Amino acid sequence: MILVNRDTRVLVQGITGREGQFHTQQMLAYGTKIVAGVTPGKGGAEVLGVPVYDTVKEAVANHEVDASIIFVPAPMAADAALEAAHAGIPLIVLITEGIPTLDMVKAVEEIKALGSRLIGGNCPGIISAEETKIGIMPGHVFKRGRVGLISRSGTLTYEAAAALSQAGLGTTTTVGIGGDPVIGTTFKDLLPLFNEDPETEAVVLIGEIGGSDEEEAAEWVKAHMKKPVVGFIGGRSAPKGKRMGHAGAIIMGNVGTPESKLRAFAEAGIPVADTIDEIVELVKKALG
């Protein structure tokens, strides 16, 4: 597994809000080690037995924190991520969708410069199966196994994980990287981690039309990847000129088209599944 495990200590930003409280409860039930929460003006309170602080700085002064998950409204979400990075939290999971793109451009650059890793925004989070869940995904579909999973699509992530679990293959760590035009962590950023992870024997990469992340990932796979990779591209049947789904699903010229992504995968030797069930078949074939 990569990035997170059962020992990862988690801070929840926006813990007193409806979404924050609900998903804190779900994460605690999964076994996630949540040590603190932050909501400005609510310091001194408790949510589900978790102490709440006014600022991230106060929280990290009182607790060891390895990761933060953010349930903060879009206008303030990028600032919340920056607050976590400035407090020295190494991993920041940004769930919020609809964050202004210019806010994200600034935040992604600054967070990287500070040495933290941002996952998202507009993502379902990260889960190391049967160890810890830092996100909003349905934990019961993730069974411990041999396959790393990276995805731009939340729903397809859950479907692929469920199919891998039912087939007895299971997953190590699953990362939903988010579907916005500007995100903190890309396929290319995560592939090297899975490449070196002794528990991961194959990687499933679930992409979408739009952007160039899949093409860049394919180049990295071709040059460096030691383990088999299986691909899936969502939105391949989208009519030309029509934007579908995520804000990141925007095709610019010849980059981001289904054809461009399929060509890049083919050149890198990445077989592409047409259905979720075929992902399982291709992984089984790749693992022998």
**Catalytic center residues:** 246
Collect all residues with Cβ–Cβ distance below 8 Å to 58 and sequence separation of at least 6.
38, 43
In the chain, the DSSP E strands lie at 9-13, 33-38, 46-47, 50-53, 67-70, 91-94, 117-120, 125-128, 132-135, 144-151, 171-176, 202-208, 229-234, 272-273
Phi, psi of 53 (to 5 degrees): -120, 160
Say whether 158 counts as a known binding-site residue.
Answer: yes
Neighbours of 237 (CB within 10 A): 8
9 is in an annotated binding site: no
Which two three-digit tokens encode residue 181? 């035009």
Cα–Cα distance measured from residue 169 to residue 144, given in angstroms and rounded to the nearest whole number: 8
Q: Is 16 marked as binding a ligand?
A: yes
- Residues in the chain, how many? 288
Let me know if 114 is exposed, middle or buried by CB neighbors in 10 A (0-12, 13-18, 19+).
middle
User: Is residue 53 a known part of a binding site?
Assistant: no
Neighbours of 204 (CB within 10 A): 28
229, amino acid identity: V
The two tokens of residue 132 are 């810890």
Residue 132 is labelled as binding a ligand: no
Closest by alpha carbon to 147, among 133, 161, 166? 161
17 assigned ligand-binding residue: yes
Counting Cα atoms < 13 Å in the Cβ hemisphere of 240 gives: 5
Distance CA 235, CA 247 (A): 13
95 marked ligand binding residue: yes
Known binding site for substrate: residues? 158
Please report, in range form, the residues annotated as the binding site: 16-19, 42, 95-97, 158
Give the annotated binding-site residues for CoA. 16-19, 42, 95-97
